[in-house]
Amino acid sequence: MKILILCTGNSCRSQMAHGFLQSFDPSLSVYSAGTKASGKVNPKAIEVMYDAGIDISHHTSDSVDKYMNDEWDYVITVCGGAKESCPTFLGKVKNRLHIGFDDPSEATGTLEFIQSEYIRVRDEIKKIFYELYIDKIKGHE
**What is the structure's pLDDT at 86?**
63
CATH 3.40.50.450 fits 2-140, yes or no: no
Give Dmax over CA atoms of the chain in angstroms.
44
Count, residues in the chain = 141
Domain ranges of the chain: 2-140
- The helix (run of H) or strand (run of E) holding residue 4 is strand 2-7
For 23, phi then psi, to 5°, come to -70, -30
Considering the candidates 1, 52, 86, 107, report the single residue annotated as catalytic: 86
Catalytic residue among 79, 121, 132, 137: 79
pLDDT value of residue 58: 96
Query: Does residue 79 carry a catalytic annotation?
Result: yes
Verify whether residue 12 is a known catalytic residue: no
Catalytic residue among 3, 5, 7, 121: 7
pLDDT tens, residue by residue, 33-59: 998 888 899 999 999 999 999 999 999
Q: Give dist(CA 88, CA 104) in Å, integer.
A: 22
Question: Tens digits of per-residue pLDDT, 16-31?
Answer: 999 999 999 999 999 9
Q: What pLDDT, in 10s, does the model give residues 55-109?
A: 999 999 999 889 988 999 999 999 875 455 566 677 788 999 999 999 999 999 9
pLDDT at 38: 86
7 classed as catalytic:
yes
